[in-house]
Amino acid sequence: MWIGPPLYARVVRGAEESARRPTIREVAAVAGVSVSTAARAVNGKTTVDPELAAKVRGAVAMLGYRKQRAAGSLRGARSGTVGVIVDDVTNPFFATVLRGIENVARPRGVMTLSGSSDDRSADERSLVDAFLERGVEGLLIVPTGTDQSYLQPDLRSGTVAVFLDRPAKFLDADAIVSDNVTGMRAAVSHLVAGGHRRIGLIIADRPGIFTADERQRGYEEALHEHQLAIDPTLIGVTDLRGSDADAVTRQLLEGDEPPTALITAHNLITLGTLRGLQALERERDVALVAFDDLALAELVKPPLTVVKQDAYGLGRRGAELLLERLEGFSGPGRHLVLPTTLVARGSGEIPPPPR
């Protein structure tokens, strides 16, 4: 076998001082086998003479060889990456979704590229572009409100997409969501059972966002079911992130016929509402049921009654749906709905004032 000068030089120098990474060709040269055999050994194929495989392992260790999957993926090998887009990793709900994905994907050799869209469609799209350029096999997306039909061509050419927490719009794809309507109905029913008739809802101003719409629908359906009127003065609307939930809460409680109980539609709103209640010193006489659990929920006074979502399960099951398709499943989009759980801790069991 003839070894050209540059290769020869590298092999002789070993891994000492080069700026380049060693290649499979160099591994093969050092091990004294062909590139094919070196590649087979590196990839753990069983059809390799154990002695040669050992030589290859030795060469790999000596050179500090690392396979570059990018090269193989050009020839059709899997890239072993998926792209994940969440609203904001900094929100524990989405961090938990991400961890659920990772815990399913990683043991199967799939790593996650991730990014936060901050619920902006433009950011969602630029993240999708960036991920696809980088060869992800699939996408797990918490979609923004608008429209996901832009993914159609990519789905046709083999990319797989699964939508988390909210379904895609104008696109047939797998989706996995929480049972927002039932969760919200449970919150309302719990308060009604506790004697409340004036139940306020504090929700973010996100028309078109699935979770917001569904939760509002659950609220209205439950009121209807309990023969209670939908009173717009009981519904407080915050900005997208719920950063003014504090003020909105106070306003709601300072109305003429204020609610005796409140429901907050997501975890960031809950923070503001708690602040508002504490500022008014009303946290012990206004009932509160919060959508989403919080780390300190049991430790505030009174402890927070919540509707828990299975954020981790959203990630896990979503990743499973994706991996099934990467391993060959094809068929129309599947829609999974994960149950929510009402956890009574105290704040939701405050009775209405006697009248």
Partner DNA sequence: CTGAAAGCGCTTACAG
Q: Which residues bind its own copies (CB under 8 A)?
A: 15, 17-22, 64, 66-71, 73-74, 79-81, 88-90, 92, 95-96, 98-99, 102, 106, 109, 111-116, 129-135, 153-154, 156-158, 271, 274-275, 278, 294-301
Going by C-alpha positions, the residue among 291, 311, 276 that lies closest to residue 177 is 311
Binding mask 43-82 for DNA (x = CB under 7 A): x--xxxx-xx------------xxxxx-xx-xxxx-----
Complex with its own copies: residue 142 or 192, whichever CB lies closer: 142
Minimum gap (Å) between residue 157 Cβ and DNA: 10
Binding to DNA by residue 330, rule CB under 7 A? no
**CA atoms of 46 and 227, how far apart (whole Å):** 69
| 200 three-class SS | strand
Q: Are 150 and 310 in contact (CB under 8 A)?
A: no
Given the complex with its own copies, which of 112 and 189 has the nearer CB atom?
Answer: 112
Binding map of DNA across residues 11-50, x = CB under 7 A, - = no contact: ---------xx-xxx-------xxxxx-xx-xx--xxxx-
Contact of residue 24 among its own copies, DNA, none (CB under 5-8 Å per partner type): DNA
The separation between CA 213 and the C-alpha centre of its own chain, rounded to angstroms, equals 19
- Residue 135 partner contact from its own copies, DNA, none using kind-dependent CB cut-offs of 5 to 8 Å: its own copies
Question: Is residue 241 involved in binding DNA (CB under 7 A)?
Answer: no
86 near 98, Cβ under 8 Å? yes
Look up residue 346 and give its two tokens: 């105290």
> Which of DNA, its own copies, none does 12 bind, CB closer than 5 to 8 A by kind?
none
Angle among Cα 21, 25, 29 to the nearest 5 degrees reads: 110
Q: Are strands 138-141 and 111-116 parallel, antiparallel or unpaired?
A: unpaired
What are the residue ranges of helices labelled H in the chain?
Answer: 5-13, 24-31, 35-42, 50-63, 69-74, 92-105, 121-133, 152-156, 180-193, 210-225, 245-253, 267-279, 311-326
Which CB sits closer to DNA, 1 or 299? Answer: 1
Report the interface residues with DNA, using CB under 7 A.
1, 20-21, 23-25, 33-37, 39-40, 42-43, 46-49, 51-52, 65-69, 71-72, 74-77
